[in-house]
Amino acid sequence: MTAAFLWELLRRIFVKFFKTSFDVVIFIGLVAITIWFNLRFEKPASSEDQVLLQNFIEWYAIFYAFALGLIVGHAWNKHNTINCTIDHEADALALLLQTGRMAHNKILSTNLCDAVESYVRYVRKARYKDRRTKEEAQEEMNKIHGCIEQMINSSEVQESLKPELIQQYNKFHDARSDRFDLIKQEIKFPIWMNLIVFSLVWLWGFFWLKIESKQLSNYILGITTFSIAYLFSLARDLDNPKSGFWRMNFEPFDSFDVKAV
Amino acid sequence: MKSIGKTESQRSFETEIRRVQLDERLDRIASFFVPFMKAGLITAAILYIFNQFAL
């Protein structure tokens, strides 16, 4: 069982790595192009040039940290907001259910429970495949909408509950729409390309630094490259809510128990 | 014992959801290592280029 689990895990790691490594290819490709250019020109060897280069690395780091921070921050914010929206959606459904249960007409109340349960089951099953315009989702939404409509038109449901039912349904509908709006707001490809170019411009300064110790130069270059490449991959992972480690979290729906609400 | 009182369709739904959740968990663990692998590969390539061309 453990060996099978490990084998499956390794298989997935490699599949994912090769499926999403186009940015690695772009990164290494651009390095190769800059090396080709670099070999044709004289390297900065004088001490004045070296001081200028050190200053450039320092000042560019401020601009670079600002650009990278904005992108990583945006992606992190998006990840958090999507999860909050899913949470709001589940909360609004729970409140809708609790309000519906207060109705005197128990048949309508049970119908609403069934419709909500059916929707929760749909979301738990569809997860990342859920779409705004998916027919199955529309049917589930229509079922809940139909139940609310019946309750509002019924004289056996208390008048005080009706505005609450509409309000909770609207909140649920809004949260669901927000989820899809946020998924669509991805960072565009030209911005990723700009970030790769900024990274290389900054990294290139380290290539030209004159450091006597080979070990120290490898250490500085290695750590800087690893940090840049890792943050870049992390930002891409954060920006994609449908896959990767930082994907949407459907835990509020997984733990949504219609009978317990 | 939890399955007592549940219908056949409920039981099969729960089984399917458990399978989906397990699959998702495995996928997330696998995805955790991918940024490290990418960063490692890029670092190795750049250090190789740096040392090979003695820049």
**Model-level ipTM above the cut of 0.90:** no
Q: Which of A56-60, A168-172, A182-186, B47-51 has the lowest mean pLDDT?
A: B47-51
Instruction: Summarize pLDDT for B20-49 with one digit per residue, the tens.
Output: 888 888 888 888 988 888 888 888 888 887
Which residues from chain A sit within 8 angstroms of residue B30, using beta carbons?
Answer: 9, 12-13, 16
- If one compares A200 and A241, the residue with the highest pLDDT of the two is A241
Q: Does B9 score more than 80 pLDDT?
A: no
Q: Which residues of A touch B13 (CB under 8 A)?
A: 121, 125
SS3 A248: coil
> Hey, how many other C-beta atoms are within 10 angstroms of the C-beta on A109?
20
A188: which 2 tokens? 């565009």
Hey, is the C-beta of B4 within 8 angstroms of any chain A C-beta? no
Position A176 scores a pLDDT of 94
What pLDDT, on the 0 to 100 scale, is given for residue B3?
A: 47
pLDDT of residue A83: 95
Global pTM?
A: 0.81
Do A177 and A89 meet the contact criterion of CB atoms below 8 Å apart? no
* pLDDT above 70: residue A60: yes
Contacts for A43 with CB less than 8 Å, ≥ 6 apart: A208, B55
pLDDT of residue B1: 41
Poorest-pLDDT segment among A120-129, A170-179, B2-11: B2-11
Residue B52 has a pLDDT of: 76
User: pLDDT tier at A197 (50, 70, 90 boundaries)?
Assistant: confident
- Number of Cβ within 10 Å of residue A3's Cβ equals 7
Write down the pLDDT at residue A172.
Answer: 94
Percent of chain A with pLDDT over 90: 46
Question: Considering only CA atoms, which of A23, A258, A255, A261 is closest in space to residue A124?
Answer: A255
Instruction: Say whether residue A254 is in contact with chain B using an 8 A CB cutoff.
Output: yes
How confident is the model over A86-130, as pLDDT tens digits? 999 999 999 999 999 999 989 999 999 999 999 999 999 888 888
Percent of chain A with pLDDT over 70: 95
Least confident of A55-59, A107-111, A256-260: A256-260
Q: Average model confidence (pLDDT) for chain A?
A: 87
Q: What is the mean pLDDT of residues A127-142?
A: 88
Range among A49-53, A211-215, B7-11 rated most confident = A49-53
A13 and chain B in contact, CB less than 8 A: yes
Q: Does B32 touch chain A (CB under 8 A)?
A: yes
CA distances, A221 to each of A38, A229, B43 (Å):
17, 12, 8
Q: Which of A9, A21, A227 sits opposite B38 (nearest CB)?
A: A21
Q: How many CB pairs under 8 A join A and B?
A: 101
Token digits for A47?
């001490």
